[in-house]
Amino acid sequence: MRQSQSAVMERGVELETVHETEPFEAAWAGEARWFVQFYREAPGSTIEFRVQISPDGINWLDHEGVAPMTSEAVGFLSIPVSHFGHWLRLRSEQKSGDTAPMLRIYLELKE
């Protein structure tokens, strides 16, 4: 049986321009997937999501294999990730729009 874990990284966070999820250790996992739900939508906005990786939980860079994903701040989206290091986080940035969305963010990990 493969080990797995679902982590609710944010339960309803106001996106104040830029948000980064807390550093999360994922050394044991071979694959991951982010889910982002707009708990409060902000139609007319553009939000950019970047998957970031780290060797130490302190220094971060964009995952070279996952292109930034943009959203119009409505509904639900997911981003698959593999070949990450031992740490994962998701960076969210509001690129345009007058109202801030509220995000619910899950990280799903599997061996």
87 in contact with other proteins (CB under 8 A): yes
Q: Which x/- pattern, by CB under 8 A, does the window 1-30 give for other proteins?
A: --x-x-xxx-xx---------xxxx-xx--
- Residues whose CB is less than 8 angstroms from the CB of residue 43 and which lie 6 or more positions away in sequence, other chains included: 72, 73, 74
The answer to whether 56 contacts other proteins (rule: CB under 8 A) is yes
CA dist 103 and 58 (Å) reads: 23
Does 57 engage in binding with other proteins (CB under 8 A)? yes
Task: Please report how close the Cβ of residue 57 comes to other proteins at its closest, in angstroms.
Answer: 7
Nearest-5° Cα angle at 104, 98 to 106: 140
Q: Minimum Å distance from CB 40 to other proteins?
A: 10
Alpha-carbon span 46 to 96, nearest angstrom: 5
Structure letter (DSSP) for residue 23: P
Q: Which residues contribute to the site for other proteins (CB under 8 A)? A: 3, 5, 7-9, 11-12, 22-25, 27-28, 39, 55-59, 86-87
